[in-house]
Structures are given as C-alpha cells and as structure tokens.
Amino acid sequence: MPGPVFIAGATGYTGREVVRESVARGLETVAHVRPDSSRLEHWRKHFEGLGARVDTSAWTLEQIGATLTRLQPSQVHALLGTTRKRGKQNDGAGTGSKVADTYEAVDYGLSIMLLEAALACGSNPRFVYLSALGADGRSVNAYMGVRKRVEAAIRGSGLPYLVVRPGFITGDDRDETRAAERVGAIVGDGLLGVLGALGAKRLQARYASLTGAQLGAAIVELACGAREHAELADTERLRGCL
C-alpha cells in the first residue's frame, strides 16, 4: 500500500479541495494545520468530517521532518502561499514558533523546509508544488521570483515531482478578498471567451481561470497518475483533467 498524502497549505482555497479530492479517491490523507491557527478547531472538525487526519506539527524542520519520517508519505503537497495584504513582520522573539507571513518566509521558506523534510524522510515521495503561470520566465516581482527559486530547488532535489502553474485561481466560493485577482479573472475570462468563440480554443484553455475545486481535482488526478519523474502542468493540461 502506498503511504499517505501529506498536504501542507490544506486550509487554503486550493488546499482544502485537494484534501477533499484525495479523501474521495480513497487515499489516506493528512491535512496539515498550523498549531497556532486561530481556526484550528474549525479545520480539525472540517477535515476529520471529510475523513482526513489532521496534523499540527510546528513549522520547524525538526518537527515537520519527524512527522514525514513517521508517516512515510507517497506524496507531499506544498500548497503554501500568502498575499501582500496579509504580510506581517515576525514577532521578533526568535523562537521559531511563528513565521513572518510574507512571500519570502511562507512561499519560499516553508516550501523549502517541506522539501528538505521530504528529502530526508526516506520514502522518496512525489513533491507536488503549486507554482504559478509565468514562474519560468523573467522574475518581475517577489511573488514570481520566489516561485522560480522554489521550482529550481525542486528540480535539483532528486525527488519525483509535479509542478503546477495555473493562471488565475478564483471563484465565488473563495473566502479571501483578492479584488484585483477576481477582476482580472473576470475580464480575462471574458476576453478569452470571445477569442474562443472566434476559434482560439487553445488560447482559452491555456489562460482561462480555474476555481479551487477544478484545480484541486486536477492536481489530485495528475499526482496520482504521474508516470514521469518530472511532471509539469500548465492551465491547459490541468483543464484537460476535468
């Protein structure tokens, strides 16, 4: 029997859908929730209600590493991310009990910590990373720059991996306020719809937005069906799984 699926970033818009889809497929699923989350009990009830186990290991290499070594996972999902609005400074205590909620600390730091723990755990899990469309090009901002660096680290790790690069991830059910992203998705999807009607179906498939449920379903499908050591999926390939 394959080991469990460990999902970091499980409480996010995409992460919670990956948990739901993994459980629905009959996979042993472990959803990670920060031990200092103000909604810990909410998420514990939610995920356990779906049939997943909840892990609350602290975000230190020692504790995350010990958890993965104990679980011997077949997949490790890094679905971590924050927003500029939610960025905040560390508490300055230097205890490691909290992390700065910034691109560098969360999107890069925690993803790399998880990668190192996956490397050391001994089960050679497939590392599944939620990147972004454009991360393979010239870094134009901190968000893309971080994802480009994480992708490079994954490629050099030696682990089998799946990197997904969706465009806009949005939907009416998203409980985070990302006005610019929502407006961009609406306008972009409208233009792509017109182009699609005029025959540019490939362009529409490649760049149109995905909901969290669509993206979650596609990630689980690709992660479970992966045959190659290195797998890369853009929006077009993700949409093809639906």
| 100-147 tens-digit pLDDT | 357 888 899 999 999 999 999 999 999 999 999 888 877 667 888 899
Q: Which of 158, 113, 150 lies closest to 130 in space, CA to CA?
A: 150
What pLDDT score does 207 carry?
A: 64
Find the range with the poorest average confidence among 44-48, 62-66, 97-101, 231-235.
Answer: 97-101
- Among 152, 120, 122, 164, residue whose Cα is nearest residue 14: 164
Domain residue extents for the chain: 5-167+210-240, 173-209
Q: Is 1 exposed, middle or buried (0-12, 13-18, 19+ CB in 10 A)?
A: exposed
- Angle in degrees, CA 195, 213, 236, rounded to 5: 35
Residues of the chain above pLDDT 70, percent: 76
Residue 185: the pLDDT is 42
- Predicted confidence at residue 167, as pLDDT, reads 84
Task: Decide if pLDDT at 72 tops 70.
Answer: yes
Output the CA–CA distances (angstroms, integers) from residue 174 to 41, 88, 129, 171, in the order listed.
20, 22, 20, 6
Please report, to the nearest 10 degrees, the dihedral formed by the alpha carbons of residues 168, 174, 179, 182 taken in order.
40
- Fold held by 5-167+210-240: Rossmann fold (3.40.50)
22 with 43: CB under 8 angstroms?
Answer: no
pLDDT of residue 133: 86
Q: Which of 73-77, 149-153, 232-236 has the lowest mean pLDDT?
A: 232-236
Written as six digits, the tokens of 33 are 């929730």
- The residue with greater pLDDT, 215 or 172, is 215
Residue 89 pLDDT > 80, yes or no? no
